[in-house]
Amino acid sequence: MTRTILFIDSENFIALIERVLDEENIDKKTVDLTHIDINMLIDVAFPDYKITQKIFYSAKLREHPDTLEHSRKLILRQRILKTYVEKQGFTFVFAGNVRGQKVKVDGKSKVIFREKGVDVRIAVDMVSLACDKKMDVAILCSSDSDLQPAVAEVKKRKVKVVYAGFEIMPNIGLTKTTNSSVLFRKSEIIAICPKRVNTR
């Protein structure tokens, strides 16, 4: 049996889903992004692949003293997302961290959150699995250009790499580096996003 492993970069994935919602003028407050039906999307986009392992990577969120309430909401949302993703048969992997960073915006101090380390963990896992001959096909759902060297190394190990991107914003580098590409359509993305029960 062909061993096909799916790698999803959660922040990248959800950010692009939000971009689709913006382009379609759908209010993000009306959509529950913690209950995305990822399996439905994969079944539609990859009907010819039997995926044997699914991994969902996310940076570890931490409380930030300057935005305590906001960071606690994000942590709760991540917990709910983790539970739902695991129910869909994914392994949820914490990789790296999300850290608050103070920046000046229009002369005012503001805290923004930056993710670090997820791309490194995905790259290490892909290369390790390829070197150990535990994978025949890698489906990479990330538009991070930093993963191109890992893709090249995995291909050297005779592993086929498929780039899973979004039609609204494909990563040209990854479309060229990988063996093939599948781009999610807007309609497919909207179909997997359930309505939020309480929009208040």
200 domain residue, yes or no: no
* 3-class state of residue 196 by DSSP: coil
| Chain centre distance of CA 153 | 21
Residues of the domain holding 10: 4-191
Residue 62 and residue 128: Cα distance in Å, rounded? 28
Is 50 exceeded by the pLDDT of residue 126?
A: yes
Is 70 exceeded by the pLDDT of residue 163?
A: yes
Q: How many CA atoms lie within 13 A of 101 on its CB side?
A: 9
Here the CATH number for the domain that contains residue 148 is 3.40.50.1010
According to DSSP, the β-strands at 180-184 and 91-105 are unpaired
Mean pLDDT score, 16-20: 96
Q: Which residues contact 73 (CB under 8 A, 6 or more apart)?
A: none
Q: Count of domains in the chain? A: 1
Phi first, then psi, for residue 103 (nearest 5°) are -135, 160
138 domain residue, yes or no: yes
pTM: 0.88
181 domain residue, yes or no: yes
Note the pLDDT of residue 100: 55
71 domain residue, yes or no: yes
196 domain residue, yes or no: no
| Chain centre distance of CA 189 | 13
* CA-based nearest residue to 177, from 162, 157, 190, 192: 162
Phi first, then psi, for residue 158 (nearest 5°) are 65, 25
* Residue found by looking up tokens 């914490």 in the block: 94
* CA-based nearest residue to 59, from 103, 6, 122: 122
Is 70 exceeded by the pLDDT of residue 12?
A: yes
Residues 60-93 have pLDDT tens digits of 877 666 666 777 888 899 999 999 999 999 999 9
Residue 135 and residue 160: Cα distance in Å, rounded? 9
Is 90 exceeded by the pLDDT of residue 48?
A: yes
* 3-class state of residue 167 by DSSP: coil
Note the pLDDT of residue 49: 96
Is 50 exceeded by the pLDDT of residue 200?
A: no
* Residue found by looking up tokens 């570890």 in the block: 60
Residues 74-83 have pLDDT tens digits of 889 999 999 9
Note the pLDDT of residue 199: 45
Q: What percent of the chain has pLDDT over 70?
A: 86
Residue 176 and residue 170: Cα distance in Å, rounded? 11
According to DSSP, the β-strands at 137-141 and 160-166 are parallel
